[in-house]
Amino acid sequence: MKKAALHKNRLFRRLLLAFVAAILATVLVLSLLMVVLVRRERTQALEAEVRVQARDVARLMQQFDSLSFWNGSEAISQTLNWKFEEIRANYGASVWLVNGNRRVLVLGDTDNAQEQLNDPDVLAQIYNVLSGREIRVQGLIPELGNDMVTIGVPWVNAYGYTAGAVLLHIPTRELSGDYRDLIRYTAIAGVIALTLGICLSYVIARRQTIRLNEISRAAGEFAGGDLTRRVRVSGDDEIAELGAAFNKMAEDLSRLEESRKSFVASVSHELRSPLTCIRGYVEGMLDGVIPQQDQARYLRVTLDETGRLTKLVNELLDLSRIESGEFSLNRTVFELNGLIAQQLFKFEQRIEEKQVHVEVSFAEDRMYVLADADRIRQVATNLIDNAVKFVDEGGTLTVQTRAVREKAEVSVINSGAVIPPDKLPMVFDRFYKVDSAHTSGKGSGLGLAITKRILEQHGQTIRVSSDSSGTRFAFTLELSAPPAQNANSNEQERGAP
C-alpha cells in the first residue's frame, strides 16, 4: 500500500516537473525575446534622435556661415556651444565639425581628432559625407574603440554647397540606453508568470492524480471484496473514461458474482430434492417403514429420481462445456427437414398420450444448412420437449421450416398457457422456470439456456413470442447448397412426419 502511494506521488511529481519545465522554458524564451526586441527598438529610436541633433548642428553651421559677414556669428556660436553641451550631456556624444578642407573645427573629447583624419577608412567616410550623404558607422575611429557609433551628416554653406561634415560619436551603451530597468521588469513579470504557472500546474497535477488515486483505491477495495465500490465520474476526459470503464467492469463483475452465487444455490436446490427423495425411500425400505409389496413402486420412483439427477448433471456439464468454449463446432452440411422430423418422431408416444394435434409445415422440400448436426439435434429436442411438456391436453403442436433472407428458420409452436410478456426474456436464463411450482419435477430450467448458447455459438439467434395463439420459439441457421457426395445419404436420412 505504501509502495503504491509512493508511485502515485511519483506520477504527481513527474507531471508537476513537466509542467514547470515547460512554463520555465516558455517564460525564459519570451523574456529573452522581449529584452532583445525592446533594446533594438530603443536603439533605433535613439539613433534617430541623435541624427536629428546632428542635422540641427548642420543647420546652425549653415546659419553661422551666412551670418559671419554681419558679425551676427557671436550669437550663433553661443547657440552652437549650447547645442554641443546638450548633445554631450544627453547622449555622452562628442562632436566633430570637419570642414571641406578636412580641418577639424570643433573637437569633442578627443584631442587628436586631426590625426585621426589621416586614417584611410575615416577619410573615406568623411568624403562620403562631404559628397552629401549621411552615414552611420560603428567603430569608425580606432582610438575611440569599437563601442562607438559615428553618425555623420553633411552641412551646407550659405551658397548651397556642402561645406563640411558634422560627426557625432556616441557610445553604444548610451544608444541602447539603460536596460537594467527593462531586465528588472521582465524578471519580475517572469517570476510572477512562473509562480502563477507553478500554482496552476500544482492544482492541475493534483487534480489528475487525485482522480487516478481514487480509481486505484477503488480497484484495491473492490479486489479486497467490496463489490459495491464504484468511483465518481466527472468530466469527459480519459480519466473520466477510465472511471466509467472501471464502474462498468465492477458492475459486470458483481453481476457475474451474483449469478455465480445464484447458480450454486440453484444447483444445490435442484440436487437436494431428488437426493432427499432417494434417501427417504431407501431408508424407508431398509428400516421396514415401506412394506415389501410396495418396494417395487418406490424403487421405480427412486430410479426416476436418479434419472433426473443424471439428466441434470449432464445438462450442467453441457452448459459449462459450451460456456467455456470446450465444445468446438463440427460444422457440416445436412438436410434440416429430415433431422427435425426425426426428433419429432421420438416424442410420438408422449404426443399420443396428451392427444396433441401435430402440424408439420416444411416450405421447401429439402433444406440444406451448414451447422453442427449433433448440436442442432439437441436444440430441436429441447424445443420439441418443451412444446410437448407445456402444450395443453388435446392442443396443437406446429413445426415449421422456411427460408428467410438466406437463412433457414425453424419454428416450434404450441398452444397452451401463455408466458407473460415480462417473463419472456428470462426463459433463456439458467434454472429459470416461468411457473416453478407448476412445472416442478418436470425439468431443471436448463434446456433453453443450453439451446440459446448452442445457437449463439453458431452465430445464430432464437426468438420467443407467446400469446393466445400459442407460444412460439423460432431459431435461424445458415442455409447452404446441397453437398455433392452426401446427397444420397441425406435423402435416406430424411423422413416423413
Where do contacts with ligand ATP occur on this chain (CB under 6 A)? Answer: 315, 382, 386-387, 390, 414, 417, 419, 427, 432-435, 439, 442-449, 471
- 447's grid cell: 434446456
475 and 455 in contact (C-beta within 8 Å)?
yes
How many residues of this chain interact with Mg ion, rule: CB under 5 A?
3
- Looking only at residues 14 through 53 of this chain, which bind Mg ion when binding is defined by CB under 5 A? none
CB of 311 to ligand ATP, least distance (A): 7
Q: With respect to ligand ATP, which residue has the nearer C-beta, 211 or 308?
A: 308
Element (H, E) at 198: helix 180-223
CB of 313 to ligand ATP, least distance (A): 12
CA–CA dist 28, 237 (Å, integer): 31
* Partner from ligand ATP, Mg ion, none binding residue 147, C-beta < 5-8 Å depending on class: none
- 63's grid cell: 546659419
Q: With respect to Mg ion, which residue has the nearer C-beta, 174 or 318?
A: 318
Query: CA dist 55 to 88, 130, 166, 437, Å?
Result: 15, 14, 8, 117
Q: Which of 243, 274, 416, 447 binds Mg ion (CB under 5 A)?
A: 447
Is residue 435 left, alpha or beta, with left meaning phi > 0 and alpha meaning psi from -120 to 50?
beta
Place of cell 554631450: 88
List beta partners, residue 343: none
Element (H, E) at 251: helix 238-286
Q: Point out which span in 18-26, 29-37, 329-337, 437-445 binds Mg ion (CB under 5 A).
A: 437-445
Q: With respect to Mg ion, which residue has the nearer C-beta, 61 or 450?
A: 450
376 and 387 in contact (C-beta within 8 Å)?
no
* Partner from Mg ion, ligand ATP, none binding residue 446, C-beta < 5-8 Å depending on class: ligand ATP
Per-position DSSP letters for 430-495, written without gaps between them: TT--TTHHHHTTT--S-HHHHHHHHHHHTT--EEEEEETTEEEEEEEEEE-PPPTTTHHHHHHH--
Place of cell 430424411: 494
Q: With respect to Mg ion, which residue has the nearer C-beta, 214 or 429?
A: 429
Residue 470 near Mg ion by CB under 5 A: no
Q: With respect to ligand ATP, which residue has the nearer C-beta, 338 or 447?
A: 447
* Partner from Mg ion, ligand ATP, none binding residue 13, C-beta < 5-8 Å depending on class: none
- Phi, psi (deg, nearest 5) at residue 386: -60, -45
Q: Point out which span in 194-202, 207-215, 386-394, 432-440 binds Mg ion (CB under 5 A).
A: 386-394
- 436's grid cell: 416453478
83 and 60 in contact (C-beta within 8 Å)?
yes
CA–CA dist 410, 467 (Å, integer): 19
Place of cell 415389501: 292
CB of 266 to ligand ATP, least distance (A): 11
Per-position DSSP letters for 232-243, written without gaps between them: ---SSSHHHHHH
CB of 229 to ligand ATP, least distance (A): 34
- 389's grid cell: 411438456
Q: With respect to ligand ATP, which residue has the nearer C-beta, 164 or 447?
A: 447
CB atoms within 10 A of CB 144: 19
Q: Which residue has its beta carbon closest to Mg ion?
A: 447
Q: With respect to Mg ion, which residue has the nearer C-beta, 229 or 430?
A: 430
Residue 416 near Mg ion by CB under 5 A: no
CB of 381 to Mg ion, least distance (A): 9
Q: With respect to ligand ATP, which residue has the nearer C-beta, 108 or 445?
A: 445
Residue 386 near Mg ion by CB under 5 A: yes
Q: With respect to Mg ion, which residue has the nearer C-beta, 150 or 386?
A: 386
CA–CA dist 192, 400 (Å, integer): 83
Q: Point out which span in 180-188, 224-232, 290-298, 444-452 binds Mg ion (CB under 5 A).
A: 444-452
CB of 442 to ligand ATP, least distance (A): 6
Q: Point out which span in 10-18, 57-65, 320-328, 436-444 binds Mg ion (CB under 5 A).
A: 436-444
* Partner from ligand ATP, Mg ion, none binding residue 165, C-beta < 5-8 Å depending on class: none
Q: With respect to ligand ATP, which residue has the nearer C-beta, 333 or 419?
A: 419
CB of 364 to ligand ATP, least distance (A): 25
CB of 472 to ligand ATP, least distance (A): 8
Q: Point out which span in 90-98, 320-328, 383-391, 453-461 binds Mg ion (CB under 5 A).
A: 383-391
- CA-wise closest residue to 225 among 182, 257, 190, 249: 257
- Output DSSP code: residue 293: G
Q: With respect to Mg ion, which residue has the nearer C-beta, 53 or 386?
A: 386
138 and 172 in contact (C-beta within 8 Å)?
yes
| ∠ CA 97-100-104, rounded to 5° | 35
CB of 323 to ligand ATP, least distance (A): 15
Binding site for Mg ion (CB under 5 A): 386, 443, 447
